[in-house]
Structure 1
Amino acid sequence: MILPPRLIPLLDQFDFACERLLARLSGPAMDSGNGVEIGVTPLGDDEHLWEPVPDCWSVRRRGDAPGARATVLAGAGAWGRDAAESPHPFPPPFTTIAWRLSHLAEMLTLRADHTSGGRTLTRDGYRTPGDAAGAVAAFGTASAAWREALLTADDTALDTIGYSTYPNGSDAEDPFVDIVWWVNQEVLHHGAEIALLRDLYRARPT
């Protein structure tokens, strides 16, 4: 299928954001932004779960209590992500790299399924990895699944409200092209936050 011209820059932006984030997490090098490659140490388990301030939201073992102001460990499996029913706590809790990666991977996985898959996956069934390597791999798999879903969209789909039936966003009210834009900004802004947390972890007092 020939991609709609207005989808091409959005797809390019998504690819750029994902490739940059994966390079920042996995190494061995990444583009500094001006064409110069800098070395990158792969994300480790301690850094993945590092809580730079008190009362962070994170990913925790299922047998542990949720973090401060969280009411549940969302998902299935041995690990869950701190969460709370609406209205969410305010001000929002500070979140770890683990929480942010889990949020991105879950969102991309479910949105892909509710766009071009079986449209059955739920947050309650999503399995969050507890280790850094698993979390990075999960993001890579999820971003590839969403990219494949985008390749099914023609011009009619981009204008269709509810083309994605993802139940945890505004998909039922917005044209699909708006959802595509929204997913891009999620990856861009959480990717930037994760990059900053990596910088802070590297520069932390020891």
Structure 2
Amino acid sequence: MPTPPRLIPLLQQFDFACKRLTDRMAGPVVDSGNGTDVEVGPMTDDEYLWEPVPDCWSIRRRSDGPGARATLLVGAGDWGRDSAANPHPVPPPFTTIAWRLGHLSEMLALRADHTNGSHALTRDEYRFHGDAAGAIAAFDSGATAWRAALLGADDAALDTVGYSAYPYGSDPDNPFAEIVWWVNQELLHHGAEIALLRDLYRARRH
């Protein structure tokens, strides 16, 4: 099926953002933005879970319970993502690389499932990772699944309200094209945050 022309720039933007974020986390180099390769080491587990300020939200062992101001750990398995029932704390807690990356990966995987999958996957069934390598692999898996969902959308699907039935956003109330745009901006801004946290970790005082 040919890709709708108006989806092409959004798909290109998504591909660029995914590659840049993955390269920024895993190395060995990342495009500086002007075509120059900059060396970058792979993210360590300590860096992945680093809490630069008190009372961060993160990915935590379920046996340790939720962090400060969180009331539950979302997900299945041994690790969960700090969260709280609505309304969320104000001001929002500062979140670690682990939290931000887990949020992106969960969003991509679940949105893909609710677009061209089982339409049944929930946050309580998603498995988070306590190590950097596992989390990067989960991000790649979620991004691959979402890209496949995009390639399955024709021009009519882009205008269809509720084409994505993802239950944790505005998907059931908006045309799919708007959801595609939204996912891209989530990826771009959280990717930039993760890159900045990597810079701060490298420059921290021991």
Band of TM-score, shorter chain? over 0.9
CA distance in 2, matches of 1:10, 1:29: 24
Aligned to 1:2: 2
RMSD: 0.5
Aligned to 1:182: 182
CA distance in 1, matches of 2:172, 2:83: 23
What's the TM-score once normalised by structure 2's chain length?
Answer: 0.99
1:157-198 CA distances to partner (integer Å, 9 max, x unpaired)? 000000001000000110000000000000000000000000
CA distance in 2, matches of 1:181, 1:87: 26
CA distance in 2, matches of 1:13, 1:65: 38
SS at the partner of 1:172? helix
Deviation at 1:33, TM superposition (A): 1.0
Aligned to 1:149: 149
Deviation at 1:81, TM superposition (A): 0.4
Aligned to 1:99: 99
1:28 aligns with 2:2: no
Aligned to 1:116: 116
Structure 2 spans left out of the alignment, 5+ residues = none
1:72-99 CA distances to partner (integer Å, 9 max, x unpaired)? 0100000000000111111000000000
What's the TM-score once normalised by structure 1's chain length?
Answer: 0.99
Structure 1 spans left out of the alignment, 5+ residues = none
SS at the partner of 1:80? strand
Partner AA of 1:175 in structure 2? P
1:38 aligns with 2:49: no
Q: Which runs of 4+ in 1 moved over 2 A?
A: none
Show the 5 A alignment for 1:20-99: 20-99=20-99
CA distance in 2, matches of 1:91, 1:117: 35
CA distance in 1, matches of 2:158, 2:33: 31
SS at the partner of 2:38? strand
Aligned to 1:129: 129
Deviation at 1:110, TM superposition (A): 0.3
